[in-house]
Amino acid sequence: GQQVMQIPQYQHVQEGEDFTTYCNSSTTLSNIQWYKQRPGGHPVFLIQLVKSGEVKKQKRLTFQFGEAKKNSSLHITATQTTDVGTYFCAWFFQGAQKLVFGQGTRLTINP
Amino acid sequence: DSGVTQTPKHLITATGQRVTLRCSPRSGDLSVYWYQQSLDQGLQFLIQYYNGEERAKGNILERFSAQQFPDLHSELNLSSLELGDSALYFCASSVYGHIAPGTDTQYFGPGTRLTVL
């Protein structure tokens, strides 16, 4: 069956350091979405990637979709305390017609 | 503010009881999704409604049911509650949910925190 792993589960960095979270799939994905959930908040949509090898940027955030559409990453350059939260990847599971969320990467930052 | 509203924000109840969670989607959105978020299970999809009809079902227990009304608001009913049902319940909405499913952006509400004692 379709399996997608999100790693790492936790990441603690010093403010100003970079941060990366990865989602790796055993099968080809049609698309991948990224969400951010602040502590005590709700998931907020960040971006969607659809094309093979796609790279999108939002200020200090860079999102990539692998050439084989089996992996994706979110990279934050020079983290700030406002980046604290849990980052989820999500993909559409065709068989069950549902959006499936990864386990998330919880980012904490030392100011 | 996503435009999705959920009530109540917090709910404390006892095992065996029944509760109803309510969600109003963003204006113009036809699809409503329900998710359960617990510490050990992450964000789990429960059920989706599109324009009043059930569209997709996830890991929803038989003790749980949902519906979407003509005005597009939705209710999630949880019955015979168990301690393990304690979680955050999120509602999300999207414009379509049936055309190119999985590519719609989902907008999440603030959630209802359910505590079963």
pLDDT of B38 over the 60 cut: yes
CA A36 to chain B, closest CA, distance in angstroms equals 11
- What pLDDT is recorded for position A37? 96
Per-residue pLDDT averaged across A77-88, rounded?
Answer: 97
B70 close contact with A: CB closer than 8 A: no
Q: What average pLDDT does this structure show over A10-18?
A: 97
d(CA A78, CA B32): 36
Distance from C-alpha of B53 to C-alpha of B69, rounded to nearest angstrom: 9
Higher pLDDT, B98 or A21: A21
pLDDT, greater one: B90 or A4: B90
B108 contacts in A (CB within 8 Å)? 42-44
b/e map of B36-62 (b: 16 or more CB within 10 Å)?
bbeeeebbbbbbbbbeeeebbebebee
CA distance A47 to A58: 9
What are B56's two structure tokens? 């997709």
Q: With contact defined as beta carbons under 8 Å apart, do B46 and B58 qualify?
A: yes
